[in-house]
A = this chain, B = another copy of it.
Amino acid sequence: MPRFRLLVSYDGTDFHGWQRQEPPGKEPLRTVQGTLEVAVREALRQPVRVVGASRTDSGVHAVGQVMAFSAATPIPVERLPWAINARLPMDVQVREPRIVREEFDPISDAITKGYRYSIVMPHDAERLPPMFELRHAFWTVQRLDIEAMRMAAASMVGEHDFAAFAHAAHGRESTVRRVTECHVTSPAPGHIRIDVAGTGFLYNMVRIIAGTLLEAGRGRRTAEDVTRALATGDRTLTGQTLPPQGLCLRWIHYGERDESVAC
């Protein structure tokens, strides 16, 4: 049975996260996976289980989530987005369909993933909440020192034990991960982007990295604190978990074997 892979974008605001949730005896919650499965089932006229590369939390957005499913269908692969998108609500959409090898697993085959955390600091005198950006960014009235954030961000890069950057309930045996990129940029006055990429992430890791860099920007933590947190695993040395709406899953890279399969 052919296996298909598609990129998925969604505005996470009105979803209870990626993962299907069907509480017994209750209506299923509105999730990205559940919504996609309904659309794919209607498009392909058969029940389909879709697997996503990353189980993003409630409120987290994606422009480059990867999903896969196996199904026999007469629909040509290049028409799949058209067939599925026609059955999706406006806050989720699929694109870039490919046929992949039968064993393709979007979770375990992923090599690196890239996330962005967006922060807005209103820079007018009144510092009002940035009304039109509240769904897709975290906002703060405090001034942030971007250079201090950059120095702290540089300390994240490399293979480290990120235990101090994980939610207590991370449920993983090893907390060692490789962060390949951690950049702080300002695309416009009052706007800050934290781009983090790595081979794997612990539960809430990007949001805790962002919270730690926020505190570095406020002068409350330094690059040395980050180094110490990585050395000791002490969660008290890292910042708050920033809220989900600032986070977006941007891309996932797979190996050459999976990249090269044409659609």
Q: Which of A100-131 contact B (CB under 8 A)?
A: 126, 128-129, 131
A81 at the interface (CB under 8 A from B): yes
Total contacting residues, chain A, CB less than 8 A:
19
CB of A61 to closest CB in B, whole Å: 8
Q: Is A169 an interface residue (CB 8 A)?
A: no
Given contacts A126-B95, A128-B95, contact A134 B90 (CB under 8 A): yes
CB distance from A78 to the nearest CB of B (A): 10
Whether B90 and A128, one on each chain, are in contact in the complex, defined by CB atoms closer than 8 angstroms, is no
CB pair B131 A90 closer than 8 Å: yes
Is A19 an interface residue when CB atoms closer than 8 A count as contact? no
Q: How far is the CB of A155 from chain B (nearest CB, A)?
A: 31
Q: Looking across the interface, which residue of chain B has its beta carbon closest to that of A92?
A: B131
Does A93 sit within 8 A of B, measured CB to CB? yes
In the complex, chain A residues 21-62 whose Cβ is within 8 Å of any chain B Cβ:
61
Q: Which residues of B contact A10 (CB under 8 A)?
A: 131
Instruction: Give complex CA distance A134, B95 in Å.
Output: 18
**Does any Cβ of B come within 8 Å of A175's Cβ?**
no
Q: A222 interface residue, CB < 8 Å from B?
A: no
Candidates B92, B96, B129; contact of A93 at CB < 8 Å? B129
**A230-250 interface (Cβ within 8 A of B):** none
| Chain B residues, CB < 8 A from A92 | 131
Which chain B residue lies CB-closest to A91? B131
Complex-state Cα separation, A91 to B130, whole angstroms: 10
Task: Confirm or deny: A195 has a beta carbon within 8 angstroms of a beta carbon on chain B.
Answer: no
A11 to chain B: closest residue by CB: B131
**Whole-angstrom distance between the Cβ of A256 and the nearest chain B Cβ:** 23
Pair A90/B11 contact, Cβ less than 8 Å: no
Q: A9 within 8 Å of B by Cβ?
A: yes
Tell yes or no: A136 within 8 A of B by CB: yes
Q: 1/0 per residue A52-93: CB within 8 Å of B?
A: 000000000100000000000000000001000100001111
**18 further interface pairs, Cβ-Cβ under 8 Å (given A90-B134, A92-B131, A95-B126):** A9-B128, A9-B131, A10-B131, A11-B131, A11-B132, A61-B132, A81-B126, A81-B128, A85-B128, A90-B129, A90-B131, A91-B131, A93-B128, A93-B129, A93-B131, A95-B128, A96-B126, A132-B136
What are 11 residue pairs bridging A and B, where the CB atoms are less than 8 Å apart in the complex?
Answer: A9-B128, A9-B131, A10-B131, A81-B126, A81-B128, A85-B128, A90-B134, A91-B131, A92-B131, A93-B128, A95-B126
